[in-house]
Structure 1
Amino acid sequence: MNYAQLLFPDFSLILCGYLVCKYTALNRTVWEQVESLVYFFLFPVLLFHSIVRTPLDLQAASHLIMAGLVLGLSSIGLSYAIPKLPFLRKHIDTRLHAASAQVAFRFNSFIALALAERIAGPQALLLIAVLIGVCVPLFNVAAVWPMARHAQRSFGRELIRNPLILATGLGLLANIVGLHIPSWTEPTLQRIGAASLALGLMAAGAGMQFGHLMKAKSLAISLLTVRHLLTPLLACWLAAMFELDKTQTSVLLAFSALPTASSCYVLAARMGYNGAFVAGLVTLSTVLGMLSLPFALGVLR
């Protein structure tokens, strides 16, 4: 399978967003509003719908869930450890690290959901939704904690206000208790989902910025190495250790190699940190995803 060709539709939307923002009147002022719409409404609806619409067989997916959680906790640990490494300690600004640590473990759910079905059909879409469901709360907690701690802000308040955590928690609760979405709402929810994917990918492109990366090269290289090299290698080992089947292995490897979440810089800016630097990391991660995804799916798999 040609994974570069498989990824082309998603990355072409990212490129479209970048070109539209840079060369037309639809500049950052417009796309900031689009990001808010996607982050606070469209994407939470898509996430809730993806989790609720298909009953979760937690026993069948238990090995994948465990592998995903171990992978997530490991990448969080690697990210948090960067300022403590002897050869990096002097080169890392702790405030900048607090804002950007999330880049090493968060993932772009827009790309995950857009890519999943093309990798291995509807089963892969359900499995990626399960991973999103269990990992988004963990990753958002891990993203908010160092910033809230460094800025001495209320950690619980930041979590309660996070729309992705709310959507995920409600979706899992509804699925577990057996609630179903009325069939007459399906067309509307599917249109919202399609809009969130297209606008989310274009917004990721519109937010791409390279200029601020030179401020902390050591930090940028360390975080992106964890995101795009160490995490896929660890996922390959975990797939073998947990004896995942072919589809689960493909999903875990794709999950491990995704670009970081486009909302990283939104969260950093909203909490009063250097959003421009985080936006630069998101930009470079998006570009590196064009290499790490074919590497994970085509080489490691």
Structure 2
Amino acid sequence: MVYAQILFPDFSLILLGYLVCRFTALNRSVWQPVEALVYYLLFPVLLFQSIVRSPIELGATSGLMAAGLLSGVSGIALAYGLPCLPGLRSRIEPRAHAGAAQVAFRFNSFIGLAMAQRLAGAPGLQLIAVLIGISVPLFNVAAVWPMARKGEHHFARELLQNPLILATTAGLTANLAGLHIPDILVPSVSRIGAAAIALGLMAAGAGLEFGSLRRDGVLTVSVLSIRHLLQPLMAWLAARLLGLDALQTTVLLIFSALPTSSSCYVLAARMGYNGPYVAGLVTLSTLLGPASLSLALGVLGPTLKL
């Protein structure tokens, strides 16, 4: 499996957004309203659809959910603790860290859904939807907290107004209640989801600025090391500890090795942080995706037989 081929469409859209914003009349003044549209409407609809589409069987997936939460909480703790580590305290600017910490533990759910379906078929797609459903509320709370704490934002208000958390909570509630999207609306919702993927990645590219990556090099290396090296290792340990089967272990490893979420940029920009720097981290994370997926699935992963 050449993982770069799977990630290429996402990276090409980021590159397209960068080129369009820099070299055409479609500059930042055009892309700022696009970011708002993606964040407040398109992404929430896509998340809701991804969670509702397949019933969640809590009993059969309890071990996978526990492993996903264990590895996820470990990633959050590492990201939060970076400024406290010896040698890093004086080299990481607090406000830059608040906006970038989310990159270490959030994930690109679009790529995750595609990878799980490609490698594990419908069973894999259902399992990764479960991981997305339980992780998005936790990870979004963890993403908002340092930015609300460092900025002039009220934490509870930010959570209650966060469209990604609201969409995920609604999706989980609907799934557990046995509700589903009416068939007549499925094509329209699917098209909204496709638009969310394309516009979200292009908006990240439009906000890209590589200069800030060099200025905060220590922070850049630190958060990307957690995302692409330590997260797969922690997921592998969690799978061994909880005795997951081959299918669940494969899905967990896919989940742990994904590039970071492109909505990291949108969230940072909407909360008044350095959006271009976070967009650069998103781009680098997308480039590192094939390496972390190769580590997770080629080195740590079991042989999967469907």
SS in 2 for 1:195: helix
1:107, 1:52 → 2: CA distance?
A: 19
1:295/1:14 CA distance change after superposition, 3 Å: farther
1:176, 1:132 → 2: CA distance?
A: 15
2:13, 2:276 → 1: CA distance?
A: 22
Segments of 5+ residues of structure 2 without an aligned counterpart are 302-306
Matches within 5 A, 1:244-283: 244-283=244-283
1:8, 1:279 → 2: CA distance?
A: 17
Matches within 5 A, 1:274-293: 274-293=274-293
Moved more, 39-48 or 280-289: 280-289
Q: TM-score, length-normalised on structure 2?
A: 0.91
Residue 243 of structure 1 and its aligned partner are, at CA, apart by 2.1
1:15, 1:280 → 2: CA distance?
A: 11
Checking the alignment, whether the CA contact within 8 Å between 2:46 and 2:189 is kept in structure 1 is yes
SS in 2 for 1:91: coil
Does 2:5 match 1:2? no
Note the alpha carbon deviations across 1:90-121, whole angstroms, 9 max, x for none. Answer: 21212221221111111122322333322222
Residue 286 of structure 1 and its aligned partner are, at CA, apart by 2.1
1:225/1:60 CA distance change after superposition, 3 Å: same
1:255 is aligned with what amino acid?
Answer: F
SS in 2 for 1:208: coil
2:191, 2:123 → 1: CA distance?
A: 21
- What is the Cα-based RMSD across aligned positions, in Å? 2.0
- Matched with 1:153 is 153
Does 2:241 match 1:241? yes
- Matched with 2:96 is 96
Checking the alignment, whether the CA contact within 8 Å between 2:254 and 2:293 is kept in structure 1 is yes
Q: What is the identity percentage for the equivalent residue pairs of Structure 1 and Structure 2?
A: 65
Moved more, 9-18 or 288-297: 9-18
- Matched with 1:143 is 143
2:90, 2:268 → 1: CA distance?
A: 23
Matches within 5 A, 1:88-237: 88-237=88-237
1:21/1:244 CA distance change after superposition, 3 Å: farther
Note the alpha carbon deviations across 1:24-53, whole angstroms, 9 max, x for none. Answer: 333333333333222211121111112112
Matches within 5 A, 1:68-87: 68-87=68-87
Checking the alignment, whether the CA contact within 8 Å between 1:10 and 1:114 is kept in structure 2 is no
Segments of 5+ residues of structure 1 without an aligned counterpart are none
Q: TM-score, length-normalised on structure 1?
A: 0.92
1:270/1:17 CA distance change after superposition, 3 Å: closer
Residue 274 of structure 1 and its aligned partner are, at CA, apart by 2.4
- Matched with 1:46 is 46
Note the alpha carbon deviations across 1:117-145, whole angstroms, 9 max, x for none. Answer: 22222222222221111111111111111
1:292, 1:184 → 2: CA distance?
A: 39
- Moved segments of 4+, more than 4 Å: none
1:147, 1:135 → 2: CA distance?
A: 19
SS in 2 for 1:61: helix
Residue 150 of structure 1 and its aligned partner are, at CA, apart by 1.9
Moved more, 137-146 or 24-33: 24-33
Matches within 5 A, 1:61-72: 61-72=61-72
1:290 is aligned with what amino acid?
Answer: P
Moved more, 225-234 or 203-212: 203-212
2:294, 2:126 → 1: CA distance?
A: 21
1:117, 1:47 → 2: CA distance?
A: 17
1:37/1:114 CA distance change after superposition, 3 Å: farther
Checking the alignment, whether the CA contact within 8 Å between 1:208 and 1:280 is kept in structure 2 is yes
1:209, 1:29 → 2: CA distance?
A: 16
1:193, 1:267 → 2: CA distance?
A: 18
- Matched with 2:304 is none
